[in-house]
Amino acid sequence: MKRTTLFSAALTLVMSSLAMAQSESELVGRWEVTYEDYKGKSIYEFRSEQGKVVGYSIHFTDENGDEYEDNSMVVTKLEFDGKNGEASYKVQYDEDEYFTTDISLKKKSETHLLVHYSYWGFSNEETWTRVIENKNN
């Protein structure tokens, strides 16, 4: 009887982990956020690496229109169930200065993701829009 219960619990854990991994993989791809007050934008890319989904900052456009390429891992410890999630987000605020904050994610549609975070007493919410790649180019 105990073996059956233990096996059942282990199977439930494995199935739950697989479902979570599948849900996280729904985020894989590029996402863009435009900052209204700042007049800039960022492009992030979720990638599947070693069985986990992580996020990279890959492009930034500042308020002057100057563009910068990047490849910094910024989203880690992602847990996403297909609708809601949590992760750690690494922010660079000076040349070599970083801090990490928790973020929450809420899927609004197949193409829109609400990202909420707080740091240094400020709270912010961004809408990230999936970048649809043109397959014909």
Summarize pLDDT for 66-93 with one digit per residue, the tens.
999 999 999 999 999 999 999 999 977 7
Distance (Å, whole) CA 137 – CA 123: 39
Q: How many CA atoms lie within 13 A of 134 on its CB side?
A: 2
pLDDT, tens digit (0-9, with 9 covering 90-100), for 7-58:
444 433 333 333 334 467 789 999 999 987 778 899 999 999 998 999 999 9
What is the domain extent for residue 12?
2-130
Q: Is residue 137 part of a domain?
A: no
Q: Is residue 44 part of a domain?
A: yes
Q: Is residue 86 part of a domain?
A: yes
134 beta partners: none
- What is the number of structural domains in the chain? 1
CATH number for the domain spanning 67: value is 2.40.128
Q: Is residue 94 part of a domain?
A: yes
Name 67's Cβ contacts closer than 8 Å, sequence gap at least 6: 59, 60, 61
